[in-house]
Amino acid sequence: MLFILAYTNPAFAQQQPTIDSLKHLLTAAKQDKNKINLYNSLAKQYRFNDSSKVAYYASLAINLAQKNNYPKGIADAYYCLGWITYMKNHYKESERLFHKTLSISQKAKYPVGIANAYNGLGVVNKNQGNYTKAMQYYQQSLKVKIKVGDQNLIAHSYNNMGNVYTLQGNYKKALKHHYKALKLRMKYSEKRFEAMSYNNIGVAYQNMGYYSRALKYHQQSLTVAENFGDTTIVALNYGKIGNVYKSLGNYTQALQYYLRAVKIDKRLGNKYGLGSNYVAMGECYHQLNEFFHAKQVYQNALSISKKTNEQSTQSAAYQGLANVYLSQKQYKVSEKYFRKALHLRKKTKENALLSETLLGLGTVAYEQKKYDKVLVFTKEGMAKAQKSARLAAIRDVAALSAKTYEALKDFKKAYTHYQLYKQMEDSLVNKEIIRKISQAEDQYKYRKYQDSLTTARQQAEKRFETQIQQQKLTNRLRLYIAIASLLAMTLLLIGVAVWNKQKRKHILQNLVLKETQKELLEEQILRKEIEEVALREQLHIDEKIKEIFQVNLESKDHELTKQALYLVQKQQLIETWSQELTELIKQAKGTVKDNIQTLNKQMKKEVKATEAWNNFTQTFELAHPSFYKKLKTSFPELTTYELKLSALIRLNLDTYDIAEFMNISPESARKAKLRLRKKMNLPSTEALREYFRNM
């Protein structure tokens, strides 16, 4: 039985011309094999957007292919069905369909079908946390694709393998595979896949802690997606940029990007994106101790994910709610949500995340002094954490176990678990330290190489000088032999023997000389290589300095944005109060009315006050000391109003925020930006934001 539930996603406008073209070809098709291939092509086009259409066209393909004994068509149809059951989290049924695809393709000797089946099995196992098995399937798929020679399919395999390495925490290998995928996709694939590769590289860099690089690649992905109009990927990248700022602890900045993603997802009806972004927003609000808003967005995520049956998002929302209630010390409610998350994560086999849910349940039990229950949860949590090799989870579970055994007065076991906690803590801390130590080690090795090369060069020069002296001695001996041969023929045999001996010695000396010259040449080559390594190291250090500068600059921009938003909120609040006072004036009489009118005038003056703007300008000039100077030098005719507008655009505020900040309508803000562009004589292809950022 196929567990296929209908889902739709309106974000596939780019695919509609292809679908219309396939339907037109289907109407004109006469041969059954052509019809089968077209049915499967239509099913493939709909597989991310409308499962009911996939089921419909795949069923037509299977029925007609069985009548015509066309196994290739049957295999392709089952692959499409396997994909949509996977999208609905029915992993067992999906795995069965992919195995069926594999069996049919192997019997028919259909390599593309075999590669697709292995790929599908890899995806299913990856989503269940079976990363080793998933990697084995992806590698088998890649081998077949290389034989077929389809560069686009090969790129997909590299991409999938990179995603598994990211999940395993092996980010260097992840980057290696994602760069391979990107290189191929830039040549052979659709632009949406190129954008996704940039996105995946950004995710890997974020996990490594290289936040500037992560932002760079997410921005590249965003640019590619904007250029070809894929708003789904635009929203995805806004969410990923939000994740980077969340990792940096800039929760306010992160929320701004999540809100941008949510706006687009709402417009597209992209419920999957909405759910994940609401969960991320909940984490930010929780960190800011805004518990009401955190619970609100987690409930939004739950509501959406239940409709789409996106169980991983549901479990994340339950986990988030449980953590919020735990912070509020509402232990019974917290336990209820942790248990719901546990049920779903066991059901969907999210083994890598089970440890954090079990840790949460253990923490709730510990706070209620139910120590026996704590040990049940920590035992299972430790097993899951060790299986998925999550060092942070092992550390946290070990810490809770140590505290529990200490409370039970079992100090021996408490000490054992504390040692494990300390070991994991040191490992996590050392990951960052190791990078710095490795740089120092490289510098030490470089100096050691230089010392050894100096010694080797001195020894080689000494050998070379000795060989020259020996060469001079050989020449003198030859002269003596020649004289001796002229003086006495009787000594001829002795002379010949000596000469032969010296000749062999000369050959040997020449060989030694050539070997020495070779060593000197190799030494020069090695020195060049070391110089290249030193240069690369210096470039790396320069890049790190640049990253630190970029992070500091982003932090200052973050403070400026907060200040700008504060000014907007202050202005909105004063305007709201002013409107309410205007209504009160209509109802009041006499002295009261006069007093209210006076107060209202003062508040309107406050809206126009420049002190807040002056504070903002001073802070902005500290962060960007040459911005106004360069702008005024290049465009001296710009007004104060236009200089303000330029600063707000430089801070990446959108049109609506600018309008609120400057107390004008969004339409007026758009016109002001157009006038500014015209005044600066900028081409339409160059974005104002990028122009100001590069100033």
Q: What is the pLDDT of residues 209-243, one digit of tens each?
A: 888 899 999 999 999 998 888 888 999 999 999 99
With contact defined as beta carbons under 8 Å apart, do 442 and 537 qualify?
A: yes
Asked if residue 195 has pLDDT above 90, the reply is: yes
Distance (Å) of CA 665 to CA 577, 638, 641, 660, 672: 19, 21, 15, 7, 11
pLDDT band of 691, cuts 50, 70, 90 = confident
pLDDT of 385 reads 81
Instruction: Report the percent of the chain where pLDDT is more than 70.
Output: 73
- How many Cα atoms are found within 13 Å in the side-chain-facing hemisphere of 124? 25
Contacts of 656 (CB under 8 A, 6+ apart): 666, 669
Out of 327-331, 521-525, 600-604, pick the least confident: 521-525
CB burial class (10 A; 0-12, 13-18, 19+) of residue 216? middle
Helix axes 151-168, 131-148, angle to 10 degrees: 160
Q: pLDDT digits over 255-307, tens only? A: 999 999 999 999 988 888 899 999 999 999 999 999 999 999 999 999 999 98
pLDDT of 115 reads 95
Average per-residue pLDDT in the chain?
A: 80
Out of 160-164, 454-458, 471-475, pick the least confident: 454-458
With contact defined as beta carbons under 8 Å apart, do 227 and 264 qualify?
A: no
Determine the average pLDDT of the residues in 451-470. 49
Beta bridge pairs of residue 50: 8
Asked if residue 366 has pLDDT above 80, the reply is: yes
pLDDT band of 254, cuts 50, 70, 90 = very high
With contact defined as beta carbons under 8 Å apart, do 374 and 365 qualify?
A: yes
Determine the average pLDDT of the residues in 164-190. 89
pLDDT of 604 reads 66
Q: State the Cα torsion 424-426-431-436 to the nearest 10°.
A: -170
pLDDT of 683 reads 85
Q: pLDDT digits over 25-42, tens only? A: 888 888 988 888 988 888
Out of 281-285, 560-564, 627-631, pick the least confident: 560-564
Determine the average pLDDT of the residues in 595-601. 76
Longest Cα pair distance anywhere in the chain, in angstroms? 150
Highest-confidence segment of 206-220, 459-473, 550-564, 614-628: 206-220
Neighbours of 468 (CB within 10 A): 12
Calpha distance 579→588 (Å, rounded):
14
pLDDT of 124 reads 93
Pick from 66, 67, 72, 95: which is nearest to 83 by CA? 95
Out of 130-144, 194-208, 301-315, 485-499, pick the least confident: 485-499
Q: Identify the residue whose tokens are 């029925």.
A: 63
3-class SS string, 99-129: HHHHHHHHHHCCHHHHHHHHHHHHHHHHHCC
pLDDT of 6 reads 34
What pTM did the predictor assign?
0.57
The domains of the chain are located at: 433-549, 562-693
Determine the average pLDDT of the residues in 497-513. 65
Determine the average pLDDT of the residues in 247-258. 93
Determine the average pLDDT of the residues in 62-79. 94
Calpha distance 254→297 (Å, rounded):
15
Out of 212-216, 247-251, 363-367, 535-539, pick the least confident: 535-539
pLDDT of 585 reads 79
Helical spans, DSSP H, in 328-387:
331-347, 351-367, 371-387
With contact defined as beta carbons under 8 Å apart, do 148 and 116 qualify?
A: no
